[in-house]
DNA sequence: ACCCAGGTGTTTC
DNA sequence: GAAACACATGGG
């Protein structure tokens, strides 16, 4: 199955996703860091805490007491690492972009991406999420669901982030709005159907041609494709 | 009670 | 390089 066919099926089934939840670029970026390997409902609690404490602000976080920040974001899990990530992220924005994430997100895609990837705690998925959902850059976001769906549908078999990203950007015209919906839809499919606890993809709305279990191991032959 | 979640960094084969 | 591990809370 080709990516755009999958996209249409997902869109027909799930409809518009209205991502990313969040009212500002900064809130989206904070959410992107907090949601790493964590359910979004937990992140909502952490962001609510930050809002109530009036801490959703680059200067406030950068100058905050680390222990205090940890307590505020505790519900989002891995709170000690993430508190450090957030402080560092905010400090970088202050040092290099006058404390304005809009300025950070005003540069050329590849150079901003490179800058984000250099921050501690910001890997490829978080960087692309910030670029796409906070900066509206046409960069495809890959996550564990994307990789699993690619493998089970037989669409593309790789666990390497950059390879999967390149595959989609090659097959799907560079368009921030389409990439926005596509990633959100893949997450929806991943959460509801293409889960690790539903390895046979039962009741999947798009499972035509699903090849799970992917292959019966052939001893000796290693040829791909 | 166990498993999982919209990853990342470090350590170890 | 790939694989294994640490990081942690809250919901199903």
Q: Is residue A220 part of a domain?
A: no
CA nearest neighbour of A81 among A26, A36, A126, A47: A36
- What are the Cα distances from residue A43, in Å, to A8, A72, A100, A120, A127? 29, 11, 23, 19, 17
Span CA (A225) to C1' (B11), Å: 33
Model pLDDT, residue A212: 64
Cβ atoms within 10 Å of A24's Cβ, excluding its own: 12
Model pLDDT, residue A220: 33
Domain that residue A8 falls in: 3-17+140-192
Residues A177 and A86 reside in one and the same domain: no
Q: Is residue A204 part of a domain?
A: no
Q: Is residue A199 part of a domain?
A: no
Residues A13 and A55 reside in one and the same domain: no
Tally of structural domains, chain A: 2
Provide the residue-wise pLDDT of chain A in tens; the chain has 225 residues: 999 999 999 999 999 999 999 999 999 999 999 999 999 999 999 999 999 999 999 999 999 999 999 999 999 999 999 999 999 999 999 999 999 999 999 999 999 999 999 999 999 999 999 999 999 999 999 999 999 999 999 999 999 999 999 999 999 999 999 999 999 999 999 999 999 888 888 888 987 767 765 444 333 333 332
Q: What are phi and psi of A200, to 5 degrees?
A: -90, 5
Span CA (A120) to C1' (B8), Å: 9
User: Is-contact A89 A33, C-beta < 8 A?
Assistant: yes
The CATH number covering residue A39 comes to 1.10.340.30
User: Is-contact A32 A130, C-beta < 8 A?
Assistant: yes
Residues A86 and A156 reside in one and the same domain: no
Model pLDDT, residue A49: 98
The reply to whether A42 Cβ lies less than 7 angstroms from strand C is yes
Strand C-proximal residues of A, range 179-208, CB below 7 A, are: none
């Amino acid at each position: 199955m080709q990516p755009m066919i999958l996209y249409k099926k997902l869109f027909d089934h799930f409809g518009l996703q209205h991502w990313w939840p969040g009212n500002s670029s900064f809130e989206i970026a904070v959410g992107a860091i907090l949601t790493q390997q964590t359910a979004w409902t937990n992140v909502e609690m952490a962001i609510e805490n930050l809002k109530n404490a009036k801490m959703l602000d680059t200067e406030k976080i950068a100058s905050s007491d680390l222990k205090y920040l940890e307590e505020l974001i505790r519900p989002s899990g891995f709170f000690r690492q993430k508190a450090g990530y957030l402080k560092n992220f905010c400090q970088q924005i202050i040092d290099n972009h006058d404390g304005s994430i809009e300025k950070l997100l005003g540069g050329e895609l590849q150079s901003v991406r490179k800058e984000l990837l250099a921050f501690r705690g910001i890997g490829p998925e978080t960087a692309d999420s910030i670029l796409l959902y906070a900066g509206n850059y046409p960069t495809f976001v890959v996550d564990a669901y994307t990789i699993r769906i690619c493998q089970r549908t037989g669409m593309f078999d790789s666990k390497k982030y950059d390879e999967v990203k390149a595959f989609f950007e090659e097959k799907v015209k560079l368009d921030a709005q389409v990439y926005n919906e596509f990633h959100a839809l893949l997450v929806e499919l991943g959460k509801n159907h293409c889960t690790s606890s539903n390895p046979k993809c039962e009741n999947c709305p798009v499972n035509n041609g699903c090849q799970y279990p992917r292959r019966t191991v052939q001893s000796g032959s290693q040829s791909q494709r």
